[in-house]
């Protein structure tokens, strides 16, 4: 029994040693990527929306490469899936609403 406890504690210490650099990398990116937009970011967001609308009007979306179009499709699908997950969390059911 003591051998299992020693192996278990050695395994836990090994896992903690390996996890610390990965967690530090995660936190480095999380601080940058998961922060809400600041008031200084609003002009850039507005310019992006204006560019998107003008590109839709002029037909600039027809000149995308396959890689860019596929990336845009994946981002759109991700937004839709997160919306669906939020709906499931909000209504606390996977299918349908309680009527």
pTM across the whole model: 0.52
CA dist., res. 60 & res. 54, Å (int)? 8
Q: Which domain holds residue 89?
A: 41-99
Instruction: State whether 85 and 47 are in the same domain.
Output: yes
Instruction: State whether 31 and 69 are in the same domain.
Output: no
Instruction: State whether 1 and 30 are in the same domain.
Output: yes
Instruction: State whether 17 and 49 are in the same domain.
Output: no
Total domains, the chain:
2
Instruction: State whether 29 and 57 are in the same domain.
Output: no
What are the distances in angstroms from CA 27 to CA 31, 60, 61? 6, 37, 35
Q: What is the pLDDT along the chain (99 residues), one digit of tens a residue?
A: 667 777 888 888 888 898 899 999 999 999 888 888 899 999 999 999 999 899 889 988 889 899 999 999 999 999 999 888 888 888 877 776 665
């Amino acid at each position: 029994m003591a051998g299992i406890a020693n192996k278990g504690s050695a395994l836990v210490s090994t896992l903690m040693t390996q996890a610390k650099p990965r967690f530090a990398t995660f936190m480095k990116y999380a601080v940058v990527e998961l922060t809400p937009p600041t008031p200084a970011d609003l002009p850039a967001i507005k310019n992006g929306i204006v560019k998107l609308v003008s590109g839709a009007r002029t037909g600039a979306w027809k000149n995308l490469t396959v890689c860019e179009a596929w990336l845009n499709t994946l981002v759109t699908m991700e937004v839709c899936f997160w919306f669906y997950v939020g709906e499931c969390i909000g209504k606390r059911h996977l299918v349908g609403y309680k009527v």
